[in-house]
Amino acid sequence: MNYEEYLDEVTTLMVEKYDIADEAAIQMVMRAQADDFFIAHDDDPTICSLERAHKDVKIIFAEYK
């Protein structure tokens, strides 16, 4: 998946896993993006995988909730 699809997947997983509102998940992903959390993902699209998304969701939720 490309970078934008990856961000969408992370947001969707966050909503599903943590039962939070879409807007809350979007805000967390946007804050993580602003803090350059996804810089490696943008540079290397091969790490934009579903497996990596599950790992990133846990990290982002813990840091930005």
Residue 43 has pLDDT above 90, yes or no: no
pLDDT digits (tens, 9 = 90+) for 15-40: 999 999 999 999 999 999 999 999 88
Q: What end-to-end distance do the CA atoms of the chain give, in Å?
A: 26
Contact, 21 vs 15, CB < 8 A?
yes
What mean pLDDT is predicted for residues 33-61?
92
d(CA 65, CA 45): 26
**How far are the Cα atoms of 1, 25, 48 from residue 32, in angstroms, in the given order?**
19, 11, 15
What mean pLDDT is predicted for residues 56-61?
97
Q: How many domains does the chain have?
A: 1
d(CA 4, CA 17): 20
Whole-prediction pTM value? 0.92
* Least reliable range by pLDDT among 8-17, 42-51, 55-64: 42-51
Please give the residue range of the domain that contains residue 12. 3-64
